[in-house]
Amino acid sequence: MKQENLDSEKKRARWILVCLFLGTIFFTFLSIIFREFPKWIERLSKTDAVVSKQFIQTSTPTPTPKLTKEKKEIEKILEPLRGEYGVYFEDLTTKDSFEINGSRKFTAASLIKLPVMLAFYKEAEKGNINLDQIYKLQATDIRGGAGSLQYKPAGYSISYRKMIELMGQQSDNTAFNIISRTLGATKIQAVIENLGMRNTSFAENETSPEDIGIFFRKLYSEKVLTNENRNELLNFLTNTIWEDRIPAGLPKGIKVAHKIGTEVGVISDAGIIFAPKPYILVIISENVNEIEAKKVLPEISKKIFELRE
């Protein structure tokens, strides 16, 4: 009986020692956790901040010191002028950019023809439209203003492709009327939104300098069209009958694929300048003195080109 009691006491002692040992380990572990927990939280916060920073992108990159200088030079030119101006510039090699009133909504005027031209080509690539199909002009199609198609008689035959060319070369309003009606406003606006042109409305004839910059960037560098169709569209926008704005400020021989916009108090131009280092330049105006604006657009174009040399 005494031996059994002795064995029982030994077991109880061993159990107590094991419990003390495990308890010591447990409380040591807890003390480490409580001591290191704030540091872990801080590290996690920093990691989250870094990850967030990597994926947050502003619509317009922060200008480099050189582009800050260019922006200030353009602001200096615009400061004394009447009306409102918006400018967007982007270097297509470095992707550096600057903007003045970049996201402000302006009257698009004929700049709205740009996404319409692109939308028509996209429908052709889907097989929904034949660019070479012949259309018979109707008297109700005629729209005044820019373009030679308004002077053709009812029944005149013209392909859709030729009408797109007239929209680019002459800013033809009759061709625009036919092409946009054939597409429908819903398809046109869908293309605008798919391009990421958030401040552009076909129905309201509104756009922003940044949105037009987005259009030309994607036309230039992304596969929004086949290479053949993209090049054809760019050619339609080159050597137009309206070369008195952005192209007028550049040395001879510099190719410019661009589109003008003109209404009462609105003098605009936007496009890709195929200089040795190609770039996008968008200048949109509203409520301006038209004579003054027609002088200042070439001046801005010239200043940008000179600052990049």
| Domain range summary for the chain, segments of one domain joined by + | 1-56, 65-127+196-308
pLDDT at 45: 39
| Residues written for the chain | 309
* Residue ranges for the chain with pLDDT beneath 70: 1-66
CATH class of 65-127+196-308: alpha beta
The predicted-structure confidence for 217-245, as pLDDT tens digits, reads as follows: 999 988 899 999 999 999 999 999 999 99
